[in-house]
Amino acid sequence: MRSYAFAAVFTVFASLLPLVVPEAYLYVIGLAYIFAVIVISWDLMVGYTGQVNLGHTTFVGLGAYVAAILQVPPRIGMHFDVSPFVAILVAGIAAATVGFAIGIITLRLRGYYFALVTAILPLVFMQTVYIWRDVFGGEEGFSIGLENAIATTVVGRYYVALFLLVASLLAILAIVNSRVGLRFKAVRDSEELAESLGIDTTKYKVLAFVISSFFAGISGATIVHYRVTVSPELYDVPLMLLVILSAVIGGIGTVFGPLFGGIVVYLAKNWWLRDLIAALGLPVNDEIVLYTILIAAGILMPRGAYAAFSERLKLYKLRR
């Protein structure tokens, strides 16, 4: 129950934000909300079933390109008109379908195959953008046209992004707190034990992967309708690492940790990190800084910043 109260406080706070924050910032914060959906959906797979998904951006990119093609059907030689919301839903279903196919093949095997195969996926899907350049637009991507934007004003887009985040958050909270969520955790903690209790581990791993891919797909599609362009960086490995960094700092398997981790990391990367590096005169780029933080966080606080901090605090109190 506490988590729903938390979600309510967050929603109220976030919906009041446009009253005080200027539009230029709201635009970035809205994108941070969509990014947070990608992070919490990654966490559903990795934090709750313990399967390392290194190809989550495959589904973000796939959703993005499916939605973009639906808005500009002449690129595949067809003519029809769909509303943004239908396009986003179809994109989510497409991502979930691909997730199902890959999950069926890799998740019935125990161990490391899933991590290895998902690590390759974004690189393969990246190449499709270059191989079918006329359709997908190569490295520059293409615009879907302002008339297909999800809302005409920045404030409107901000609220759509917030709605996506809150709806996804409530759905994922409902899943992890249900009996299905318990089974996910049983699979994570011990596959043998889960199996001996009669849990079909493959079924639940695939289910988690399909749900997680669905949310990644609709996030990718929403980004396209938010920014009005699609480009291959939505598939790419740096975005994947940003997702992982957010979840690791927030604390894997906690829903709210990855949520706030996602918002903070996204804003940091797109707001002040580059300026900070330039101001300090460091001879590195922002990605080097982020990867270094990820290595340090993974080793020093594998359960997230909040858990690490509260443990230290407890130790300190005990010593006194």
Partner 1 sequence: MMELALRILIFGAVVGGIWGLVASGFSLIFGVSRVLNFAHGAAFVCSAYFAILLVQLGNHVAVAITAGLLVSCLLGVAVYALTRPIRHNEVMVVIVTLALALLIQQVLLLSFGDRGLSLTPLIGGLQRIGGVKVTNIRLASLAFAALTMVALEHFINKTRFGKTILATSQDSEAAMLIGVDVEMVYLVTIVLSSLLAGMAGILYAQIFAVTPETSLKALIYAFAIVILGGLGSVRGSMISAFIVGYILVATITFLGARWSEFVMLLAIIAILVVRPTGLFGVEE
Contact positions vs partner 1 (CB under 8 A): 46, 50, 52, 54, 105-106, 109-113, 115-117, 119-121, 123-124, 127-128, 130-131, 237-238, 241, 244-245, 248, 252, 283-285, 287-288, 291-292, 294-295, 298-299, 302
Nearest distance from residue 307's CB to partner 1, in Å?
14
Cα separation, 259 vs 32, whole angstroms: 10
Which of residues 9 and 193 has its CB atom nearest to partner 1 in the complex?
Answer: 193
Which of residues 4 and 112 has its CB atom nearest to partner 1 in the complex?
Answer: 112
| 224 CB-contact burial (10 Å; exposed 0-12 / middle 13-18 / buried 19+) | buried
Nearest distance from residue 26's CB to partner 1, in Å?
31
Nearest distance from residue 139's CB to partner 1, in Å?
13
Nearest distance from residue 221's CB to partner 1, in Å?
24
Nearest distance from residue 20's CB to partner 1, in Å?
36
Which of residues 91 and 121 has its CB atom nearest to partner 1 in the complex?
Answer: 121
Which of residues 22 and 281 has its CB atom nearest to partner 1 in the complex?
Answer: 281
Identity of the residue numbered 320: R
CA 262-265-269 angle, to 5 degrees, is 135
Which of residues 100 and 291 has its CB atom nearest to partner 1 in the complex?
Answer: 291
Which of residues 67 and 294 has its CB atom nearest to partner 1 in the complex?
Answer: 294
Nearest distance from residue 126's CB to partner 1, in Å?
8
Which of residues 33 and 235 has its CB atom nearest to partner 1 in the complex?
Answer: 235
Nearest distance from residue 110's CB to partner 1, in Å?
7
The dihedrals phi and psi of 230, each to the nearest 5 degrees, come to: -125, 140
Nearest distance from residue 193's CB to partner 1, in Å?
17
Cα separation, 310 vs 247, whole angstroms: 18
CA 181-185-189 angle, to 5 degrees, is 170
Which of residues 162 and 294 has its CB atom nearest to partner 1 in the complex?
Answer: 294
